[in-house]
Chain A
């Protein structure tokens, strides 16, 4: 009786063992695949944010300098908004996808940028649409 129980256990365990060995191999392979696939998607999303934030940053820095250098443009209101936008961007952890206020902060930055543009009376075209195709997947 005990013998047949052992045999039965052996069969059940073999079942488990084969599954386990396949599992281990699959697990390693899956881990590698996950990294590769995740990276591809992550790169695109990160690039999208980096591109947008970089644009605002470059725009704000350049305008700060332009406002500084031309006496006629020296305007405390414009300057204040530029400084505020730069401050917001510098505090924004653009390279961290786990940042919980990512969308909230991004919307605030976009709003501040629009405010600056209307104050400066300019309508910059960042050609985001041109690279839109490259960023979608």
Chain B
């Protein structure tokens, strides 16, 4: 709230010249009282504003996150459901325990992938959605959110600094996440799914497993969008 300090500085300088000696102490006192009262009013306003702003966008953010979470995770659910179907089919047909334990391993791997993706979804905006998010921020007239670094640096209010630190933490975490996954995706030569490197591997393993089971590969047809 740098402008509060600026405003009170200007006020203070103006008053200094006007002050008569005999009234100096009293007016200074009044002035200080006035300033602290106004600062209190600003803080009260700030708090009310935070609450009102939050109340307005909380649902919006929730809906946004909900859609993202559901859209990303449903793919992992589908893979898990497919593997579960194969597993139950194996149990019914008394397949070899080697294949059954392989399916179980793949199920575990999918679960791990899912958790990994979810953890990163929670703290970052997934790459394909950055543009969408920017658009919606602009629609809301909040476009300073993303290029906020400079503006926030200027702000001296403690709370803002705290928030800034949090945002930076999130940003660096997300950058690390992106770096890691793109590194790993280079290793697996799979750029399309940089959000999760080992998903390709799981899909390949699942495909070879289906062949071993002697089941038509059509069983994986619905997973093509993965």
**Interface of A with B (CB < 8 Å)?**
14-15, 18-63, 65-66, 68-69, 94-98, 120-127, 130-131, 134-135
Which of A31, A43, A49, A66 sits near B53, CB closer than 8 Å? A31
Is A62 a contact partner of B86 (Cβ separation < 8 A)? yes
Is A125 a contact partner of B1 (Cβ separation < 8 A)? no
Is A40 a contact partner of B63 (Cβ separation < 8 A)? no
Q: Do A66 and B85 form a contact, CB below 8 Å, given A29-B163, A44-B122, A55-B78?
A: yes
Contacts of A59 in B (CB 8 A): 81-82, 84-85
A62 to chain B: closest residue by CB? B85
Distance in angstroms between the alpha carbons of A110 and B223 in the assembled complex: 21
Which of A30, A60, A135 sits near B118, CB closer than 8 Å? A135
| Closest beta carbon of chain B to A104's beta carbon, Å | 18
> Which residues B67-99 have CB closer than 8 A to chain A?
67-89, 91-92
Is A30 a contact partner of B54 (Cβ separation < 8 A)? yes
Distance in angstroms between the alpha carbons of A120 and B59 in the assembled complex: 41
Distance in angstroms between the alpha carbons of A43 and B56 in the assembled complex: 18
Is A42 a contact partner of B64 (Cβ separation < 8 A)? yes
Which of B55, B87, B159, B216 sits near A34, CB closer than 8 Å? B55
Distance in angstroms between the alpha carbons of A57 and B226 in the assembled complex: 14
Q: Do A49 and B70 form a contact, CB below 8 Å, given A21-B42, A40-B65?
A: yes
Distance in angstroms between the alpha carbons of A56 and B73 in the assembled complex: 13
Q: Which of A14, A46, A49, A57 is the most central at the interface, judged by chain B CB atoms within 10 Å of its CB?
A: A46
Which of B41, B50, B70 sits near A94, CB closer than 8 Å? B70
Contacts of A125 in B (CB 8 A): 84
Other than the known A22-B1, A31-B53, A35-B145, what 12 A-B pairs have Cβ atoms closer than 8 Å?
A: A28-B53, A30-B55, A38-B63, A41-B62, A41-B65, A47-B73, A53-B74, A57-B74, A58-B79, A61-B221, A62-B220, A63-B85
Q: Do A127 and B62 form a contact, CB below 8 Å, given A33-B163, A34-B56, A65-B218?
A: no
Contacts of B49 in A (CB 8 A): 22-30
Contacts of A50 in B (CB 8 A): 69-74, 77
Distance in angstroms between the alpha carbons of A43 and B66 in the assembled complex: 5
Contacts of A66 in B (CB 8 A): 85, 89, 215, 219
Contacts of B81 in A (CB 8 A): 54-62, 126
